Amino acid sequence: MASIRAEDLRIEFPLYHFARSMKKRLLGVASRRVKEDPQNRVVISALSDLNFTIESGERVALVGHNGAGKTTLLRTLAGIYEPVGGRLTVDGEIGCLIDPAAGMDGLSTGRDNIRLRGLYRGLDAAQIAALEADAGEFSGLGEFLDVPIHGYSAGMSIRLAFAVATAFQPQILLMDEWFSAGDADFMAKAQTRLEQLVKASEILVIATHDMDVVKRWCNRVIRLEAGRIVGDEVV
Amino acid sequence: MPRPEHYLSIDAANPRHVERALADLRDGLSQWRLALALARLDLRNRYRGSVLGPLWMSLSTLIMLIGLGLLYGTLFKLDLANYLPHLAVSLIIWQWMSTCITEACSTLIGAEGVIRQMRLPYTLHALRIAFRNSLVAAHSLPIILLVFLVFGHVPGPEGFLAIFGLLLIGINMLAGGLLLGMMCARFRDIPSLVGNVVQLAFFASPILWKPELLGDAMVWMALNPFYALLETVRGPLVEGGGPLLAWVAAVFYTTVHVVLAGLLFARFRSRIAFWV
């Protein structure tokens, strides 16, 4: 059974590499989010005092303005950022659709990039071959699979990235709002595949602005504002 | 799916630094296939579009060796049959070590894009740098063989000791990849500093010159970690074993290096994602 539990979760970004005068100016402005930590570092408090539990079966939408901390929370749940305060426990295998193009090599062909992604996921040779067949076919790139991806159009890059990223079925699906580009024909295909993935996952956490997505997929909305939870309701 | 992501449990009040650093090391080493694939990709991209391609790695060493060999052999009035095997081994091991040190500075900075998007063991990035530079060095190995053949130099059975020397250097590469990688991510002046130190170390280490030239002052060479490590490979291959003092020093420096890297990595591993 998958679950996520956060207690008093806190994430702070230290600001390094800037001049002393800027530090003074930054701290001079009365702000809730820019502050000085006990080691005299200027930090941006990205997430503060988050408490929530997400159980199997929940479909959570993270909503809030730009900079509210949605993506930071996703990255924290994925284990990329480690909390400076509080506790985080995640049970279940995580699939992370934050930046689908991460780890892609521009000078390698589409096919090589699929295989590389397989290695990133720690797959063995047979699994990589299966991934190559599945993602290659779904992307619909045909002969372009053997062309270096820096020659791809924006739409083609997204098709490849999407096909690779959605080829794994995780228990916990973390998703940022990026599935928007691509041609109309592909989008219809993409929607179906994404919906399958969402339905088969035990937990979905999606950062979104789109109320349609919330209505269609989610049964709980967590609203973030300036790094704090200001609303948490079942819909 | 054999990813280390099955279960995540982080408690800021009880960070389990050492345990999690060891897990990072274990996971990183177990993903060596990925590190090797990335290292090969780096090299392929570096020589993309070049006609001779990876052959340049061997060729540039050969050019350097012939040029320096003739120049310094004449300057120091050395017997080439004696000097060139020394220079070949020294130069190739030095290039291996020095490029690894300078590139170790960007172990983590260079992997920024991946670090912020995927949860991967940091050891993986250090392993990638070590593999990349070892692959480059492997391209120069035939040159050592060539020089030994031309000058009829045959290492005795003690030549096998060089394997331990290579192992020591390998351990240092991994430790350095993490240590320098972290320090350079946090303090951006360090890469330039390291560049200067490495440049100076080239002249301060017995690469162009033979350590015997120092006479009685040779014992002081043990203070130079580059000399100690060089000697663990050059000694067995060229000098018939290498001085015991150099071996002791090499093991000592490696231990200090590993302990220092390990301590800092355990303490600051969780901060790396915020530094890069």
Determine contact, residues A70/A167, Cβ cutoff 8 Å: no
- Residue B42 corresponds to which tokens in the numbers above? 């780096």
Say if the Cβ atoms of A116 and B5 lie within 8 Å. no
Say if the Cβ atoms of B12 and A80 lie within 8 Å. no
Say if the Cβ atoms of B118 and A83 lie within 8 Å. no
Choose between A218 and A28: higher pLDDT. A218
pLDDT in tens, B161-180: 999 999 999 999 999 999 99
pLDDT score of B1: 36
Helix residue ranges per DSSP H, chain A: 20-28, 70-77, 110-120, 125-139, 154-165, 184-200, 211-217
Our measurement of the distance from residue A191's CA atom to the centroid of its chain's CA atoms, rounded to an integer in Å, reads 17
Report the gap between the CA of B43 and the closest CA in chain A (Å).
12
In the predicted structure, residue A185 carries a pLDDT above the cut 80? no
Q: From A72, which residue of chain B is nearest by alpha-carbon distance? A: B116
| Dist CA B255 CA B265 (whole Å) | 15
pLDDT score of A47: 94
| Dist CA A93 CA A98 (whole Å) | 16
| Dist CA A26 CA A34 (whole Å) | 7
ipTM of the complex: 0.87
- Which residues numbered 207-226 in A keep a CB inside 8 Å of some CB on B? none
Across the A:B interface, residue pairs with CB atoms under 8 Å apart total 93
Say if the Cβ atoms of B119 and A82 lie within 8 Å. no
pLDDT score of B53: 85
Give the CA distances from residue A168 to residues A4, A122, A124, A152, A193, in Å, rounded to whole numbers and listed in that order. Answer: 20, 12, 14, 23, 11
Q: Does A18 touch chain B (CB under 8 A)?
A: no
- Domains in chain A with CATH codes: 3-92+208-234 (3.40.50.300), 110-201 (no CATH)
pLDDT in tens, A148-178: 999 998 888 888 988 888 888 899 999 887 6
User: Digits of tens for pLDDT over chain B (276 positions)?
Assistant: 344 444 688 888 888 899 999 999 999 999 999 999 999 999 999 998 888 888 888 999 999 999 999 999 999 888 898 899 999 999 999 999 999 999 999 999 999 989 988 889 999 999 999 999 999 999 999 999 999 999 988 888 999 999 999 999 999 999 999 999 999 999 999 999 999 999 999 999 999 998 888 888 888 889 999 999 999 999 999 988 888 999 999 999 999 999 999 999 999 999 999 998
Report the gap between the CA of B248 and the closest CA in chain A (Å).
39
Tell which of B117, B120, B123, B186 to mutate to test the A interface (max A CBs under 10 Å). B117
3-state secondary structure B23-83: HHHHHHHHCHHHHHHHHHHHHHHHCCCCCCCCHHHHHHHHHHHHHHHHHHHHHCCCCHHHH
Say if the Cβ atoms of B7 and A99 lie within 8 Å. no
Determine contact, residues B229/B169, Cβ cutoff 8 Å: yes
Q: In what order do the strands lie in the sheet with A42-55?
A: A34-36, A42-55, A3-14, A85-91, B7-11
- 3-state DSSP assignment of residue B10: strand
Confidence grade of residue A191 (pLDDT, cut at 50, 70, 90): confident
Q: Does A151 touch chain B (CB under 8 A)?
A: no
- Which residues numbered 38-77 in A keep a CB inside 8 Å of some CB on B? 75
Which whole number is the average pLDDT over A50-69? 93
Say if the Cβ atoms of A99 and B119 lie within 8 Å. no
- 3-state DSSP assignment of residue B166: helix
Choose between A37 and A221: higher pLDDT. A221
- The DSSP secondary-structure symbol of A82 reads P
pLDDT score of B4: 45
pLDDT score of B266: 96
Q: From B273, which residue of chain A is nearest by alpha-carbon distance? A: A81
Chain B environment of A87 (Cβ under 8 Å): 10-13
% of chain A at pLDDT higher than 70: 93
| Dist CA A230 CA B195 (whole Å) | 50
pLDDT in tens, A97-148: 888 778 889 899 999 999 999 999 888 899 999 999 999 999 989 999 999 9
Q: Does B8 touch chain A (CB under 8 A)?
A: yes
Q: Does B16 touch chain A (CB under 8 A)?
A: no
Chain B environment of A82 (Cβ under 8 Å): 10, 12, 270-271, 273
pLDDT score of A157: 87
Q: Residue B95: which region, alpha, beta or left (left: phi > 0; alpha: psi -120 to 50)?
A: alpha
Neighbouring residues of B36: CB distance < 8 A, sequence distance ≥ 6: B131
Determine contact, residues A38/A199, Cβ cutoff 8 Å: no
Which whole number is the average pLDDT over A186-203? 86
Determine contact, residues B268/A77, Cβ cutoff 8 Å: no
Name the CA dihedral angle for B253, B257, B263, B266, rounded to a multiple of 10 degrees.
-150
Determine contact, residues B56/B119, Cβ cutoff 8 Å: no
Confidence grade of residue A183 (pLDDT, cut at 50, 70, 90): low
Which whole number is the average pLDDT over A31-44? 79
| Dist CA A197 CA B160 (whole Å) | 55
Tell which of B14, B34, B271 to mutate to test the A interface (max A CBs under 10 Å). B34
pLDDT in tens, B226-276: 999 999 999 999 988 888 999 999 999 999 999 999 999 999 999 999 998
Q: What are phi and psi of A46, to 5 degrees?
A: -85, -40
Q: Residue B93: which region, alpha, beta or left (left: phi > 0; alpha: psi -120 to 50)?
A: alpha
pLDDT score of A209: 84
